[in-house]
A and B are shown apart, each in its own frame.
Chain A
Amino acid sequence: MHFHLTEEQQAIQGAVRGTLADIWPIERIHAFADGDEDFDRASWDALMALGLGGMLTPGSGMGLLDAALVCEVAGEAAAAGPLIGQLLAVAAVAASGKGDAEALVSGTQVATLVHGGSDYAPSARAADLFLIVDREKGVRLVPAAEATIEPVKAADRTRPMSKVAIPDNAGETLFSAADPMTARLADAALVLVAADALGGAQKVTDMSVGYAREREQFGQPIGRFQALKHQLAHMALDVEPARALVWYAAYAWDAQLPDAPRAAAMAKAHLCDVYVRTTRAAVAAHGGIGYTWEYGLGYWFRRAMADRAWLGSPAEHRARAATLAGW
């Protein structure tokens, strides 16, 4: 029986966290958010230099749980770049034997995820490849040249989306709709977005707690007041137990347990709701400073809205979970 993180897993998280703290501080986020790019080469290369690209290749000794732990830290740091798409593209290419796995693992080729039926993809202008994961139509890998990209002003400034149009027959089919890998990749995407949401929700909870310990009103730290203390306790109560929901969904996927698809749906639905609730509560807990652009809380708030909408809303995945349970 082992259901907590190993020292090695904690070390991987520590390494990613340290790298992002150096290369993706709030000043860089501010500059990126007001710029025109949808991709940041320096932070991407730094992450890829850690060897993260190949986490989901068979034989890496790692699995979706490890990938989720990395995506959690990326969510915490509000990292730019299509990390989730890249990890899944490597998994898809490696499992299908088609495409150039090596260039994706190293990060020299950038892949982004297009959710089946969606018109949007993050970092689309920077992407060399589009990984389309569609439960109805299968999994395709499409070179950028075959896609039409229309930049939009994106709400989430840390992972700017573009509008993407891709013809049905573009690129190469990696898995048919009936191939079990199609559903597995779609499920894995849900778990990784849930992990991003977990990291972000933890981040804004930590920011709120830190602020409540320092900010003084009425001659004392505001965190001493029960009204705020209880709000912060509820934020933590929302986030910390939900961590195990993400772990379980990733573990179930790795172990190919029968409830893995449902666990992925539950994790996506629950964590994205938690993320939105927590970022809203964080703004309330901060007061005026939290409402300023400069403070930066808004980046996580916007990212929470994007995570919620990406790959289908919580209501959609709860409806799937209800059906999968045979209700």
Chain B
Amino acid sequence: MDLSYGAAAEAFRAEVRAFLSLHWPPPSDMRGADLKAFIRTFRALATGEGYLYRAIPKIYGGSEQPVDVIKAQVIREEFARARAPMEVGGNGMNMTVPTLIEKGTEEQKELFIQKTVEGDYIWGQGYSEPGSGSDLASVRTKGELSADGTKWIINGQKIWTSQGMQSTHMFMLVRTEPHAPKHDGITYLLIDLDQPGVTRRPIRQMTGEKGDHTFCEFFFDNAETPVSWQVGERGQGWTVSRTTLKHERASIGGADGLGKQFAKLVDLAKEVGRIDDPIVRDKLAQIEGSVLSHRYSSFRIFSCAAAGEDAGPVTLMMKLLLTEIGHEMALLAQELIGEHGFLEPAGAGGRGNRGRRGPEKWLDQIMGSLGNSIAGGASNIQRNIIGERGLGLPRDLAMGGER
């Protein structure tokens, strides 16, 4: 085993560094629209070098690079080191674009990919509904064809949409064939959110978080979208929604984030004067055993991806492992903050500059760890996936018809 990336990767790293030293950062007094324009130009230059939007065809504004997880990792590391912006994030890049590249029509690709890549279009995810969480294929938001057959008319409700207040568009699962078996009655639609039939509202969370940056719920009252904005066949939306970005997905970024959070937990133990307590030391080392298991497993998955091999069931476990470690850290943090737990941290769960905060700031992590058990596939669903796909156990009878 060898954790170095090799001479070719180091030569490539030097190239990336040279590029970054020429083009980043912006002048320190640059603000507002100028800064925005600077970042836009920077991204275009970086894309020209093949550093960003590597999975996206050149005709849609990408750099269309062959798959190379090591190069992709070097780029992430160097951009992070220089604090340079990478691709615009969010659901658009993670979900809409890969889906369109694989399943979209030429018209859809031309209309949406470049605009999304450049950050002009922001996409909300229209999957969950108040009555459809883990059982996503039970969605009830209804789509009906207009009398002239050119438009879908949409009625219903979607919930838990990230970036919902900023979203310009939504990709959504809509029931169009009410009499078909549930997985066969869903169509995948794209919709412009700027229209009278769409109402949105932020959801206030248990963290106290509210405002424009939080999750939203959406209400559709005869909202419309052209039939040409339907992705894939009518009734095939479930299959379309399973499209995921496989290109250079393996990274050790998640492990780095967890490692940093663990280091902060150690700092907290020092800050509150408990680091010499044998119980605290034991608990920290116990948690670190799992943190390192996660870290080295991400090396393993990354290494397999670089070699074009399948890492096996461990890939199915990473989300649940991360969630479980988050719970362990939350419980220890709660012990460590003691009476700081009486306090609501400034700007709880919020974003932006909140000034200096005391140990009570861990309330964000403590509550956030609960959110992680729900978002992106609830923990009990993860356990099903590990059990069924990883261990080959038979499917639950109630879910016998599931896919």
Contact = CB atoms under 8 A, between A and B. Distances in A.
Q: Residue among A224, A234, A247 with the most chain B CB within 10 A?
A: A224
A248 B1 CA distance: 9
B387 interface: yes
B386 A224 contact: no
A241 B391 contact: no
Complex A-B, nearest 3 residue pairs according to Cβ-Cβ distance, in ascending order: A270-B289, A244-B296, A318-B285
B289 A269 contact: yes
Given A3-B3, A241-B297, A322-B285, A229 B388 contact: yes
B228 interface: no
A213 B382 CA distance: 19
B166 interface: no
A233 B300 contact: no
Contacts of A221: 393-394
A4 B303 contact: yes
Interface string A228-267: 0110111011001111110110010011000000010010
B281 interface: yes
B397 interface: yes
Contact of B1 (A2, A236, A245, A263): A2
B289 A245 contact: yes
A224 B394 contact: yes
Contact of B392 (A4, A65, A213, A273): A213
Given A244-B297, A244-B300, A318-B282, A223 B394 contact: yes
Interface in B1-22: 1-6, 9
B303 A2 contact: yes
Nearest to A63: B1
A315 B279 CA distance: 10
A233 B394 contact: no
B303 A3 contact: yes
A94 interface: no
Contacts, number: 164
A212 to B, nearest CB: 6
A2 B302 CA distance: 9
Contact of B397 (A213, A220, A233): A220
Given A226-B396, A240-B314, A241-B317, A232 B391 contact: yes
Nearest to B70: A1
B302 A3 contact: yes
A243 B300 CA distance: 10
Interface of A: 1-4, 65, 209, 212-213, 220-221, 223-226, 229-230, 232-234, 236-237, 240-245, 247-248, 251, 254-255, 263, 266, 269-270, 273, 314-315, 318-319, 321-322, 325, 327
Given A241-B317, A269-B289, A1 B302 contact: yes
B1 A233 contact: no
A3 B281 contact: no
Contacts of B391: 209, 223, 232-233, 236
A212 B294 CA distance: 27
A120 B311 CA distance: 40
B38 interface: no
Nearest to A234: B383
Contacts of B288: 266, 321
A247 B296 contact: yes
Interface of B: 1-6, 9, 70, 266, 269-270, 275, 278, 281-282, 284-286, 288-290, 292-294, 296-297, 299-300, 302-304, 306-307, 309, 311-314, 317-318, 320-321, 324, 380, 382-384, 386-388, 390-397
A4 B304 contact: yes
B266 A3 contact: no
B321 A237 contact: yes
B393 A327 contact: no
Contacts of A255: 2
A3 B393 contact: no
Contacts of B294: 241
A1 B3 contact: yes
Nearest to B313: A240
A263 B266 CA distance: 18
Contacts of B302: 1, 3
A38 to B, nearest CB: 32
Contacts of B317: 236-237, 240-241
A213 B395 CA distance: 11
B394 A322 contact: no
Given A4-B307, A220-B397, A244-B300, A233 B390 contact: yes
Contact of B285 (A224, A242, A266): A266
Contact of B293 (A229, A242, A321): A242
Given A315-B282, A318-B282, A213 B393 contact: yes
Contacts of A242: 289, 293
A322 B280 CA distance: 10
A229 B2 contact: no
B383 A230 contact: yes
A1 B320 contact: no
Contact of A230 (B4, B5, B312, B380): B380
Given A223-B394, A224-B396, A229-B388, 20 more contacts: A1-B303, A1-B306, A2-B303, A3-B303, A4-B300, A221-B393, A224-B397, A232-B387, A232-B391, A236-B313, A237-B317, A243-B314, A244-B314, A247-B1, A254-B1, A263-B292, A270-B289, A319-B281, A321-B288, A325-B266
